[in-house]
């Protein structure tokens, strides 16, 4: 079961590029975690493109977007370049799905994560979360409203 609002957001450190690690605790404003099953799937591609288009709206409110999937950093690099993704994609690949498991969104049946969004405030608390069916793009509206409510 996915972590809910009011829970502490588990810290993590994941590869953002093949040679650069990023941790949740590095960010001091609101953070939006975008868990998605895999690069290159049609719904994931649409979702990440939509969040990339909305990136400046989140940035204007002091929020950092972070995409997370079980794909590796090399796959993320090519995907970001091909799809013009404007925010970091983090590789939850070794051990596979460890961060997704701590957030309660790992899918044991196929080894990917749920399509899930978490908004984390500057105190490291989850203030909003949503898990959508894997085949449904949840859009950015709910996450953006949650970020706006923090200001």
Spell out the domain ranges in the chain.
13-149
**What SS3 class is residue 90?**
strand
Length of the chain equals 151
Predicted TM-score of the model (pTM): 0.97
75 is catalytic: no
Question: Residue 124 has what pLDDT?
Answer: 97
Q: Residue 130: how many CB atoms within 10 A of its CB? A: 15
CA distance 98 to 104: 10
Phi-psi region of 102 (alpha: psi -120 to 50; beta: other; left: phi over 0): alpha
13-149 CATH: 3.40.30.10
What are the CA-CA distances from residue 123 to residues 61, 65, 97, 111, 126 (Å)?
16, 16, 24, 31, 9
Which residue ranges in the chain fall short of pLDDT 50? none
One of 9, 14, 33, 44 is an active-site residue; which one? 44
Q: Which residue has the tokens 């994941």?
A: 14
Q: What is the pLDDT of residue 108?
A: 96
Q: Omega of the bond prior to 95 within 30 degrees of 0, cis?
A: yes
| Residues in CB range of 34: below 8 A, 6 or more apart | 47, 48, 51, 65, 66, 67, 68, 117
Cβ atoms 35, 114 nearer than 8 A:
yes
């Amino acid at each position: 079961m996915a972590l809910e609002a009011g829970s502490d957001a588990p810290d993590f450190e994941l590869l953002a590029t093949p040679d650069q690690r990023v941790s949740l605790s590095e960010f001091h404003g609101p953070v939006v975690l975008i868990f998605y099953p895999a690069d290159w799937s049609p719904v994931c591609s649409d979702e990440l493109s939509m969040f990339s288009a909305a990136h400046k709206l989140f940035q204007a409110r002091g929020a950092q977007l972070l995409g997370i999937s079980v794909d590796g950093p090399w796959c993320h690099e090519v995907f970001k370049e091909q799809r013009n993704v404007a925010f970091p994609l983090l590789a939850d690949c070794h051990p596979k799905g460890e961060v997704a498991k701590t957030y309660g969104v790992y899918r044991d049946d196929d080894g990917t994560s749920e399509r899930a969004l978490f908004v984390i405030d500057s105190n490291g608390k989850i203030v909003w979360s949503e898990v959508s069916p894997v085949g449904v793009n949840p859009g950015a509206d709910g996450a953006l409203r949650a970020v706006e409510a923090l200001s």
